[in-house]
Amino acid sequence: MAEIQGVGLQTIPSGGSQLIDFGANTKVGDGSILVNGTDIILPETGTYMVCYTTSGAVLGGTTAGAGAGVGTLLRQGGNIVLGSNVGTNFVGGTVALPNDNGQTNCSLVCVSDTVGNNIVQLEVGVLNTTGGATGYQVQRFQTSVTVTKYSDEICSPY
């Protein structure tokens, strides 16, 4: 098991998406799961439960009605992990939004080989903005990915 947490801030402009960079990361666990920038490297074949929690702030969201449509998902070997995506519209009503807006989800990740198929990444995208907002700023110090090995068996069908 490992919990990976970033440091600092990562700005994503409206209409863009980025893999979250855990380069200067904090890890808790047995040390078998490695992190290299945006890549979370799973050590062996099997089935893993991968959960993420993001935290961020709408940029330019200091006025009422400012907001952003934010989507978060997991990628494995460059492909979207089935069921990992979450989309949320963070929009202030009569007051500006607070800084801590976030998303949480869990998905099973099936690792059939350790040559590319064992790399998991967290991606955050800003689909649109309203009311003067210009993007979304991920607070990496409050954003984490937790990886737990669920089984030595590989998810079916493989």
CA 135 – CA 155 distance, rounded (Å): 37
Query: For residue 155, what pLDDT is reported?
Result: 83
Give the list of residues 6+ apart from residue 150 with CB closer than 8 angstroms, or none: 46, 47, 48, 49, 108
The answer to whether residue 140 sits within a structural domain is yes
Residue 52 has pLDDT above 90, yes or no: yes
**Which among 17-26, 33-42, 84-93 has the top mean pLDDT?**
33-42
The answer to whether residue 157 sits within a structural domain is no
Task: Write down the residue that tokens 């978060």 correspond to.
Answer: 72
Task: Give, as one character, the DSSP assignment of residue 153.
Answer: S
Domain that holds residue 75: 2-151
In the numeric block, which tokens belong to residue 149?
């090995």
CA dihedral for 81, 83, 84, 89, sign (positive or negative): positive
* Proportion of the chain above pLDDT 70, given as a percent: 90
The answer to whether residue 158 sits within a structural domain is no
The answer to whether residue 30 sits within a structural domain is yes
Arithmetic mean of pLDDT, 45-64: 88
Arithmetic mean of pLDDT, 47-70: 87
Higher pLDDT, 60 or 118: 118
CATH of the domain at 94: 2.60.120.40
Query: For residue 157, what pLDDT is reported?
Result: 58
Arithmetic mean of pLDDT, 7-13: 93
Query: For residue 32, what pLDDT is reported?
Result: 87
What domain count does the chain have? 1
The answer to whether residue 11 sits within a structural domain is yes
The answer to whether 40 touches 121, Cβ cutoff 8 Å, is yes
Buried-state track 95-123, b at ≥16 Cβ within 10 A, e below 16: ebbeeebbbebebebbbeeeeebbbbbbb
Binning pLDDT at 50, 70 and 90, where does residue 25 land?
low
* First vs last C-alpha separation in the chain: 24
* Proportion of the chain above pLDDT 90, given as a percent: 59
The answer to whether residue 156 sits within a structural domain is no
Residues 92-132: tens digit of each pLDDT: 665 556 667 889 999 999 999 888 899 999 999 999 998 88
The answer to whether 47 touches 155, Cβ cutoff 8 Å, is yes
CA 148 and chain centroid, separation: 16
